[in-house]
């Protein structure tokens, strides 16, 4: 069974975290969720305390303890299910479920998508104007099998056997160093998730980059990097993403094949005025659709509407 504990980072009596392994403060989403709940409490006012909010991590609900909860006022926040499951049973036992890694919107009347946000170790730095940014293109992340095609495009030499292990690739490719791609690029690959740049250095380079490459994660095209780049004012270049409200209509540049990335990015960089305009749209999109305040407004509205039907 999981421990059900108060969340010190959120500091609200009606918000608990049910965990089976890691404490809340070590979760990638900890700071982002804490910010959402701070804004949600302000947005809902005294009504906030009429609800029981339960955060839990993972796909399986076996350890989730909600049998004694009132389904009319229980709200679940489900994180870390990278297999994109749809929690049918959970939605049938609670007022609302807010979940990241959903395959699409409006699958169930009380199921709502939740942005991934930013990793807890990535601090916020004020975005720099495009003309003051040092790097043209930036990516730092693990060299997984599904990223070998990207590696072939940015690396020199381009040869990169799909099945060759990292330890055998390293002597032939400077995975942890600069790779020439477009303009002044900084693209270090690493062996494992969160095994690269320290969070403060990562944030500094991201805020100093014009374009951020955002290849798919291990199981899903969604990554924290998409949201970290938007918050930092970098132009996001990504593989196709799910049809979720916080992606549809966004300024994200979508490419279906990394072999077209070089020309796409060269075209972006060739027009400084259009690049600056896209940067402003990216920052606006973060504020209006993905920021802690924007998500809190959406959550408060959904909870209010569902409560009227109970």
Q: How far is 156 from 25, CA to CA, in rounded Å?
A: 40
Residues of the chain with CATH 3.40.50.2000: 130-289
- The two beta strands, 3-6 and 15-19, are antiparallel
C-beta separation of 252 from 279 below 8 A:
no
**pLDDT of res. 152:** 80
C-beta separation of 64 from 52 below 8 A:
no
Say whether the peptide bond before residue 260 is cis (omega within 30 degrees of 0).
Answer: no
| Secondary structure E strands in 80-171 | 96-99, 111-113, 135-138, 141-142
**pLDDT of res. 144:** 81
Q: In what order do the strands lie in the sheet with 253-254?
A: 185-186, 135-138, 209-214, 235-238, 253-254
**pLDDT of res. 189:** 82
**pLDDT of res. 1:** 42
What are the average pLDDT values for consecutive 10-residue runs of the chain, which has 310 residues? 67 86 87 97 98 91 83 96 93 96 96 97 97 96 84 68 56 56 88 80 97 94 97 98 98 96 96 98 98 98 95
Strand, coil or helix: 239: coil
- CA-CA-CA-CA dihedral for 47, 52, 55, 61, to nearest 10: -140
C-beta separation of 97 from 76 below 8 A:
yes
**pLDDT of res. 254:** 98
**pLDDT of res. 61:** 79
**Architecture, CATH, for domain 130-289:** 3-Layer(aba) Sandwich (3.40)
Strand partners, 111: 97
Using the CB atoms, write b or e for 258-282: b if 16+ within 10 Å: beebeebbeebbeeeeebeebbeeb
């Amino acid at each position: 069974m999981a421990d059900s504990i108060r969340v010190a980072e959120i500091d609200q009596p009606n918000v608990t975290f049910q965990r089976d392994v890691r404490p809340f403060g070590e979760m990638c989403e900890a700071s982002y969720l804490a910010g959402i709940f701070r804004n949600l409490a302000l947005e809902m006012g005294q009504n906030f305390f009429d609800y029981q909010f339960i955060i839990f991590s993972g796909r399986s609900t076996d350890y989730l303890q909600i049998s004694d909860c009132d389904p009319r006022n229980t709200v679940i926040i489900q994180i870390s299910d990278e297999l994109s499951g749809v929690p049918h049973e959970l939605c049938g036992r609670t007022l609302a479920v807010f979940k990241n890694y959903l395959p699409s919107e409006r699958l169930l009347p009380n199921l709502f998508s939740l942005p991934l946000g930013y990793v807890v170790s990535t601090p916020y730095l004020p975005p720099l104007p495009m003309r003051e940014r040092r790097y043209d293109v930036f990516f730092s992340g693990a060299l997984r099998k599904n990223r070998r095609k990207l590696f072939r495009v940015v690396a020199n030499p381009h040869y990169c056997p799909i099945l060759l292990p990292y330890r055998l690739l390293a002597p032939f490719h400077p995975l942890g160093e600069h790779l020439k791609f477009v303009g002044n690029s900084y693209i270090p690959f690493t062996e494992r998730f969160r095994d690269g740049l320290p969070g403060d250095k990562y944030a500094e380079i991201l805020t100093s980059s014009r374009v951020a490459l955002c290849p798919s994660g291990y199981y899903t095209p969604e990554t924290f990097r998409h949201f970290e780049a938007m918050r930092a004012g970098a132009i996001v270049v990504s593989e196709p993403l799910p049809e979720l409200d916080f992606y549809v209509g966004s300024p994200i540049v979508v490419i279906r094949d990394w072999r077209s990335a070089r020309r796409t990015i060269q075209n972006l960089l060739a027009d400084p005025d259009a690049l600056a305009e896209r940067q402003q749209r990216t920052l606006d999109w973060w504020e209006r659709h993905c920021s802690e305040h924007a998500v809190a407004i959406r959550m408060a509205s959904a909870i209010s509407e569902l409560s009227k039907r109970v």
